[in-house]
A and B are shown apart, each in its own frame.
Chain A
């Protein structure tokens, strides 16, 4: 809970503007889609790039994701998830699909090397515009135990399965699953995320 308070006052919760926009996108409204694009393209692209680490491929996947948002907006159910969660879950899945399929054949990582590259979070580009958000997330990540933090960031930012993550961290499968859950729960509370 620490950073929820020292991260500044949380604004009153309210449904964002994206949900009604998505409903209009579902009805074929290109203008509404353009607004959705403005709202999510940066984080979709950044996330995909983080996972794939290749600019050209990331652009391609991010584009596919955004077009999929357009195509499948009618499937968005605001009762199940926020629009942000729906779009970013989709983006992460697509990035992970890509990384896993390209990894399947060529055995990619020298496992030792992978942990060395681990500043999964520190490589984030230093853009002034989202420094506040970034700082809050960093502070909250810092409040996790090392295993929790690594489990969450390796899975999310590198697109690893929990099995791979367990191997990389050299911990039991059951442990890594638990640490992922605990880590996210701690992050949720620290960031004051409600749903």
Chain B
């Protein structure tokens, strides 16, 4: 394509819901009333909520217009580091919307929900195989929820041993959910710095690991897109003093079929189905964060567990050491169906291929942009690479400005200002579903922007120009929050 990807188009303004409508309109077909009204104590009834009355046309136009202001993976490349914005296959949506699944009550008798239970059981097996772990729970509803589950399991393990431990080691490159999950569980996070190569060193862990430390929470590959090469030795040090190794598996997209976490010293980990396993992000969720554990931690998994008995599947509750429940029911079942469908469609060879191509795409971008953007760690990366705005600082152009200008070029910006160890970080994760042409176009756009930074930096400072709105006043939004209409 010779023309720039980014262009202008017709966007229509649309007011807030309660600025539309007329009393008496309705967008819902009220079911036939086949019973008489019964006595209802007026003491109990309220005014009813102040909702607008809208027709179906009002509602459909409203949300159609709003949708057009959004940019999704289906619109274009969305190289958000750490998020794995890969393409979401549409057959997954079809399977999740089958009436047998959508209409199912979670407390149906097992005999009347065999399809769901079978699927959950099989999916746990698939994740066990991919992670190299022994058992899996599908109950956590997001990655952070899985992290909390893992921390609760670690807490329960030590409690059962009669060992009181108060700390968890966490690298400075960790995602914010890591220390937050640690705190939620009553532990104190103990930070450790990565070395000059951007990974954890054995010595730094050995220095701080002690019998009061419950474990370590690593991300592998880490948030700099680098494989934690010393993981096995680190795991040994932690295990030697009775600690456990938690792995944040958010970056699993780099190593499917290439590394099995269970074989390299990990005791417990979570996966993000909305990352590695292609379920769509939905504008912020829902996700699903299954947790896989080594054998010694299986007794602590949340209940109920799906078990196979005489060729049928049942929900078993009798696990006295279980941490309890982390979701009301079985977790994000509707999301799990999509990931299950993804694994069935991909098969083992393609899952491995996906990881290899994700790593290929990231390294290609790294190589092609390293002249243009500063590359703090010039070594082979995994599925994502991190640049910084150091080269552009002299032009008084920051990461934020380049990110906003990318929008005018038709791309969603990469992750910015994370990880914290790289000032002005730009974390690019293309994923394997981006073609070479799209990636080349992305590279060309970034090069053009770097040029603009030199010749005409105001183009960046004033960006974006072609979205529904320009840059927004986040200061007033925080000083005088207006959170409801």
Q: Do A and B share a complex?
A: no
